[in-house]
Amino acid sequence: MSSRHPSSSLTEGPILRPLVALAWPLVAIQLLQVAYNIADTFWLGRRSADAVGALSLAFPLVFLLISVGGGFTAAGAILVAQHTGAGGKRAAGEIAGQTLGFVLLVSVGLGALGFVATGPLLALLPTDPATAERIVPMAAAYMRVFFLGSPALFGFFIFTALMRGYGDARAPLRVMVLSVAVNVALDPVLIFGWGPFPALGVEGAAVATVASRSVAALAGFYLLFATATGPAINVRDLLPRREPVEKIVRLGVPSALEHSGVSLAMVAATAMVATFPPEVLAGYGLGNRLISLVFLPAMGLSQAMNTAVGQNLGAGEPERAQQAVKLGMVLVTAVLLVVAVIAYLRPEPIVAVFLPTGTATAVATIGHASDYLRIVAFAFVFLGLLEVALGTFRGAGNTTTALGISLVTLWVVRLPATYLLAFPLGWGPTGIWAAVALADVVGCAVALAWLSRGTWKRAVVESPTTGTGTGAAPTPETAAIDD
């Protein structure tokens, strides 16, 4: 049976091995997360390039609403990590339960809002006439099913975040394997209508995702409440109470704004891409799916920073937290440098796996996606370093700093550059791809400059050795969640 006592190796002894041990399951979870999207893209690509375009159009809008709840989930993970590092086992279990109960309520409201707002949201996009006729209706069908399943989707997100904050990434990995297996099995059945099932097309991909997430959420809740896995949550912890919910909200609002700012920027970028023919939109979506694979090591290490930094600051070990950050940056640079070279040299064979080349539309889509991948490859290492830095700020509780850097990257650099390069300067789709790379480079420079100031090395909860923080005066952000 798994113990509820996480390993102390993140806060004691050599740090490289426990950091890698924490990071690799998180990378694997992200890989499996992308497997959902890749499976959808793979099977929908065999239905039509327009089906892939519908998924490309729907996803930023879906993410726009669910990102709000994601911010509060991240807040729970940060608090669990710092309480765990400080030795507050009961406090960690309580805040985990409060996060679970509160975010599930939020997910119900967001799902209802998204279902009602699907039509108006899609109507706001300045789409090309062919895109409006062929792609928008399919995107609407996908979004409505997705929003109906929001509580199941959030259930698994919460379980994974809380376990990550606690320092256990292997239990969520096992649950994720189960969920992806269900999704991969259901996708072709529901998209093409095998056996007694009707052919639902894009809508079938959404049904498969919701069903598989439901399985994952139920499995996660079973582990939390019926086994010794993870923080010890009492049933009474699920009923939201004012003081812990205020802590979650105060820390979670900047994270929610960050996630919402990212997703809104993606919507704005997609709106600009949608003014081009459907092949460009499909190529943009396909390229994003492939870049999300590259993003995996960076995201896994970023999430590992959440836990390693949070637990070490909670334990009163700021220099050890900084050591973990340096190791994370070395690891992400080594991995993404290799990936960047491969993506730059051989983008076409990689892209062609996901879309048969039997039509002129498919050939054009593959060409645009290959150009996108080749250009953005120049920024892969910068993207990885940016994510590790953002994970450090979040783990320290400096969610406002992470918000500011994300907004600069997307709203100050990427979106203006996209418009300027693609339209006034006449670069077309190439301008869109170049703006993505430029934003990652600038965002990385800003994040590293801010990280070098060292102001993130503060305790948020009481240190078990001193009973206080690490010596820095608390900011309003840290004071809001101090016990």
Residue 3 inside a domain? The answer is no
The half-sphere exposure of 120 on its side-chain side, counting CA atoms within 13 A, is: 5
**d(Cα 229, Cα 222) in Å, to the nearest integer?**
9
Q: How far is CA 148 from CA 111, 112, 213, in A?
A: 6, 7, 12
Structurally, how many domains does the chain consist of?
Answer: 1
* Model pLDDT, residue 316: 82
Residue 374 lies in a domain: yes
Cβ atoms of 397 and 82 within 8 Å: the answer is yes
- Domain range for 111 is 13-479
Question: pLDDT (tens digit, 9 = 90+) per residue, 158-206?
Answer: 888 888 888 888 888 999 999 989 988 898 899 888 878 888 888 888 8
Interacting residues of 306 by C-beta distance below 8 A, sequence separation 6+: 74, 77, 78, 81, 164, 165, 391, 394, 395
| CA distance to 40, 47, 70, 146, 186, per residue, from 200 (Å) | 13, 11, 29, 14, 12
**In-domain check, residue 7:** no
pLDDT bucket at 219, cuts 50 / 70 / 90 = very high
Q: What is the pTM of this model?
A: 0.71
In a domain, 2, yes or no: no
Gyration radius of the chain's alpha carbons: 22
Give residue 5's pLDDT band: very low, low, confident or very high (50, 70, 90): very low
**How many Cβ atoms are within 10 Å of 227's Cβ, its own excluded?**
12
CA distance 9 to 90: 20
Which whole-number Å values give the CA distances from 3 to 10, 93, 231, 232, 313, in the listed order? 16, 14, 10, 10, 23
pLDDT in tens, 433-481: 999 999 999 999 999 999 998 888 775 555 544 444 443 333 333 333 3
Lowest mean pLDDT among 66-75, 295-304, 455-464: 455-464
Q: Name 473's Cβ contacts closer than 8 Å, sequence gap at least 6.
A: none
What is the rounded CA–CA span in Å between residue 43 and residue 22?
Answer: 32
Q: Give the span between the Cα atoms of 10 and 400, in whole angstroms.
A: 25
Q: Which tokens belong to 364?
A: 């054009």
Question: pLDDT tens for residues 113-163?
Answer: 989 988 888 887 777 787 777 888 888 888 999 899 888 888 888 888 888
Domain assignment present for 418: yes
Determine whether 449 is exposed, middle or buried from the number of CB atoms within 10 Å of its CB (0-12, 13-18, 19+): exposed
What is the average per-residue pLDDT within 263-274? 84
Q: Give the integer Cα–Cα distance in Å for 183 and 190.
A: 10
* 376 in a structural domain: yes
pLDDT digits (tens, 9 = 90+) for 393-418: 988 888 889 889 999 999 999 999 99
The rounded mean pLDDT for the chain is: 82
What pLDDT, on a 0 to 100 scale, did the predictor assign at position 117? 87
Q: For helices 89-123 and 49-85, what crossing angle results, to 10°?
A: 160
- Within a domain: 8: no
207-211, 316-320, 449-453: range with lowest mean pLDDT: 316-320
